[in-house]
Structure 1
Amino acid sequence: TVPPPAAAPSPATGAPPAAVSTPAAAQPSAAATPTPATASFTAEAALRQLAAKWEVQLAPGEACQEAAKRNLRCWQTKGGLAEIRRLNRPVIIKLRDDPAQPQTVLLTAISAGKATLVTSSGTETVAFEALEQRFDGSFTTFWRAPRSWREEVTQGDKGPDVDWLARRLAQINGVKKPRENQPLAGETLRYLREFQSAQGLKADGVAGPKTFIRLSQPGTLTEPRLLAAAGK
């Protein structure tokens, strides 16, 4: 007789199961690692830091209201870095490193193609061209307003703010200081329009914050400056 075939040997008791090969998790390359976002100020903290550049320590409370008590006016607008250079004063800007949450920082200096930023964690220097790519276009600054300043003055207006305007324009043009409490008209209005045109502003004879800020730059008025002494 033919013997039955031998049974296949059973697996050894206690033998470990065969290892299953699992592909290793992909590791991000250095190039894929995002650049850490610049440390952001809160809006109020940024305003207080900016006020310090004007050597003003704001009391507790809403920053712009407290600044107004010290004759510093908040002015918020949109414009390019070229506009900020023309204004020539430190500003609060927003960076779009994270589009969902723009970072609020101070731009305090521009020199030799570099920009100095003050963040909530310190100071950093970046290339001006790189800053142009990161800047979202909005900025806030302070300016010192004349006594009894209005949001804008126009032809025929009178008052201390018009007197200040007339004195500054007379000084810039090297002419005799005009009498006080005169309406914005005649030679002063002509000087105003000429000044606006020379500054690249709308030469409409209406003086708002941008015109007053530009008028405060010539001469010896003491204000913080953005550009280096050489004007670059």
Structure 2
Amino acid sequence: MYHQYFGLKEAPFSIAVNPRYLFMSARHRDALAHLLYGVAGSGGFILLTGEVGTGKTTINRCLLEQLPDSTDIAIILNPALNALELLASACDELGIDYDPDNTSLKTLTDKLQRFLLDNHARGRKTVLLIDEAQHLDFEVLEQIRLLTNLETNSEKLLQIILIGQPELAALLQRPELRQLNQRITARYNLEPLNLAETRAYIRHRLQVAGLAPDRELFPDAVVRRIHRRTRGIPRLINVLCDRVLLGAYGRNKARADRAMVEVAAREVMGERPAAKVWPWLLLPLCLLLIAGLLLWFYWPQQPVLSEHSSPAAVAAVSERHNLPVVTLQQGEQEEAVSALAAAGPPALNRSWLLPPRQAGEYLWALHSAITVPAEVCSTQVQEGLLCYRERVQTWDALQAYDRPLVLELVTEERFSAAALLIAVQGQEAVLASSQGLVNVPLTHLAKLWQGEFYLLWRPPEGFAKPLSIGDKSPVVAQVAQMLAELDGQERPLATTGFSATLETRVRLFQQANHLEADGVVGLQTLLKLNEQLGIDPTRAQAKTLLLGRAND
């Protein structure tokens, strides 16, 4: 078929679930994390909903692969059962013997309870997973709720996962099901892919199928059209992309175009071509755009400051150059205006070039209100803060640290200096200075910087080395609690021992934040956790804080 024409080893957009083509978007990883928390919890219901084709089956398969060996699971794929048939199916899945000629709700429930108690005594968990649960009727749902009454003094004996379409969530809102709804300990609605995820999804499947790195079958304009037609639903993306490639093959085209998407949409989805906007309707918009550009280029410039400039003029120029107005004591206004006027454009403003000690003090003040110690960047924890020093080669490497950093510089006169980097925006660095925040071209700053920088962060108490599966220490409990807070969960995935479930959650977190997904909790993972939990200030928080202080 067409896959050979495009140099592929196989058809990349089959709707069959193939583990080799597994694509986990950020929302898929979040969904899996919620299920893992639910299974590791003390029992109850876990709810996963999503539109048809959004990837619920993918999540199910990932969950089954991540469950520890000490878990027994019963999977019900056909929910069109009555209460008695459901219990019998659960017993069949778990290997529980019963007399098929002498069954009742009581006998099956009793046998299931004995199995659950024996499993609990052996340290094993039992999970009941029901797919397409939106088709369950009230009687069956009530029987499922009663199964969660099987418990010990500390936890439920059976964990139940309900998976279905969005109407399942609406069904559980009915008053007669409020008792079941209140027992749901984790719930997640799987949304379709956004445009960026759709682009990555298509590229991923083509690469797995063997597409050469230098070939492009779906240009960006085509991907946008596919996302619009499929609304980001993976199954529809597969169907549409398959038909588009088939159309390109039939026309001897090297890649797809938007016209092929429209034809394919009509064939497989019943979509009609988008209505065209008459060109003359766009004329007023073009005229407005031209007028806006003229105003932009010919708008009067701000006045030049002098020592006689008013405070209002100083405020205007400061705002134009992204320099917050600093509140000054009486008698300092003239001196400040002269300095600001002499500084000129931000590219020539040297107020951001700080003595090393002063830059460290500024950084410390963003993390703590406690007096700055004698040594800002210490290898020992001081007031809960630890310094981390590193050397990188590119600005891109610095972007991985979403926090304020001190860049260690050497001036053209060969003196030691420093700059407090708040953010990198395009081709400019946002630096803190005695006058507020200034934008400095990276080319200007790079002349003074050889790649050395340091940052401050708050490590978990007692953290001394990276944590991995099998480790047992109070630090493991702190990390598990941090992840639970991030996910909005009451119970962490571990207490003192680094479990396989916790390792899976760590890997998901690392993947979502573009870190090496090795399941080991090291410095980079902890830094990212601190940023997302607000333990350490991010770039945006530091910028807001500096602006607030300047305006106070």
TM-score by length of 1: 0.66
Which residue in 1 is equivalent to 2:355?
Answer: 41
Which residue in 1 is equivalent to 2:388?
Answer: 75
Shift of 1:101: 4.8
Q: For 1:164, which of 471, 474, 478 is the aligned residue? A: 478
Distance 2:539 2:417 in 1: 20
Q: For 1:50, which of 345, 363, 370 is the aligned residue? A: 363
Which residue in 2 is equivalent to 1:115?
Answer: 429
Q: Kindly report which structure 2 residues correspond to 1:136-175, keeping only aligned pairs within 5 A, or say none.
A: 136-173=450-487, 175=489
Shift of 1:116: 2.3
Task: Give the secondary-structure state (helix, strand or coil) at the position aligned to 2:390.
Answer: strand
Q: Which runs of 5+ in 1 are unaligned?
A: 1-34
**Would you tell me which structure has more strand in proportion to its own residues?**
1
Distance 2:400 2:485 in 1: 20
Task: Give the secondary-structure state (helix, strand or coil) at the position aligned to 2:468.
Answer: coil
Which residue in 2 is equivalent to 1:10?
Answer: none
Q: Kindly report which structure 2 residues correspond to 1:218-229, keeping only aligned pairs within 5 A, or say none.
A: 218-219=532-533, 221-227=534-540
Q: Deviations over 1:15-68 (max 9, x none)?
A: xxxxxxxxxxxxxxxxxxxx89773422x4432221011133435432245982
- The sequence identity of aligned pairs, in percent, is 25
1:190 paired to 2:484: no
Shift of 1:115: 2.4
C-alpha change, 1:210 and 1:40, in structure 2 (3 Å) is same
Amino acid in the other structure paired with 1:115? A
Shift of 1:181: 3.4
Q: For 2:401, which of 84, 87, 90 is the aligned residue? A: 87
Q: Deviations over 1:107-137 (max 9, x none)?
A: 1244575422235797542135654565422
Shift of 1:94: 2.7
**Would you tell me which structure has more helix in proportion to its own residues?**
2
Shift of 1:202: 2.0
Indicate if the aligned counterparts of 2:409 and 2:417 stay in contact, CA closer than 8 A: yes
Q: Which runs of 5+ in 2 are unaligned?
A: 1-347, 545-552
Task: Give the secondary-structure state (helix, strand or coil) at the position aligned to 1:126.
Answer: strand
Larger displacement relative to structure 2 (145-154 or 101-110): 101-110
1:213 paired to 2:515: no
Indicate if the aligned counterparts of 1:149 and 1:160 stay in contact, CA closer than 8 A: no
Distance 1:160 1:113 in 2: 44
Distance 1:129 1:171 in 2: 41
C-alpha change, 1:66 and 1:134, in structure 2 (3 Å) is closer
C-alpha change, 1:217 and 1:36, in structure 2 (3 Å) is closer
Indicate if the aligned counterparts of 1:85 and 1:226 stay in contact, CA closer than 8 A: no
1:62 paired to 2:375: yes
Shift of 1:151: 3.1
Amino acid in the other structure paired with 2:418? T
Shift of 1:213: 0.7
Which residue in 1 is equivalent to 2:513?
Answer: 199
Distance 2:518 2:447 in 1: 33
Amino acid in the other structure paired with 1:50? L
Amino acid in the other structure paired with 2:468? T
Shift of 1:187: 0.9
Indicate if the aligned counterparts of 2:405 and 2:453 stay in contact, CA closer than 8 A: yes
Indicate if the aligned counterparts of 1:110 and 1:226 stay in contact, CA closer than 8 A: no
RCO higher in 1 or 2 (8 Å CA, sep ≥ 6)?
1
Q: CA RMSD in A?
A: 3.4
Indicate if the aligned counterparts of 1:41 and 1:104 stay in contact, CA closer than 8 A: yes
C-alpha change, 1:45 and 1:168, in structure 2 (3 Å) is same
Distance 1:64 1:209 in 2: 16
Amino acid in the other structure paired with 2:355? F
Which residue in 2 is equivalent to 1:177?
Answer: 491
Distance 1:89 1:72 in 2: 14
Shift of 1:182: 2.8
Task: Give the secondary-structure state (helix, strand or coil) at the position aligned to 2:520.
Answer: coil
Distance 2:450 2:462 in 1: 33
Larger displacement relative to structure 2 (66-75 or 110-119): 110-119
Shift of 1:96: 5.6
Indicate if the aligned counterparts of 2:355 and 2:416 stay in contact, CA closer than 8 A: no
Amino acid in the other structure paired with 1:46? A
Indicate if the aligned counterparts of 1:39 and 1:120 stay in contact, CA closer than 8 A: no
Distance 2:413 2:503 in 1: 44
Indicate if the aligned counterparts of 1:151 and 1:208 stay in contact, CA closer than 8 A: yes
Shift of 1:184: 1.3
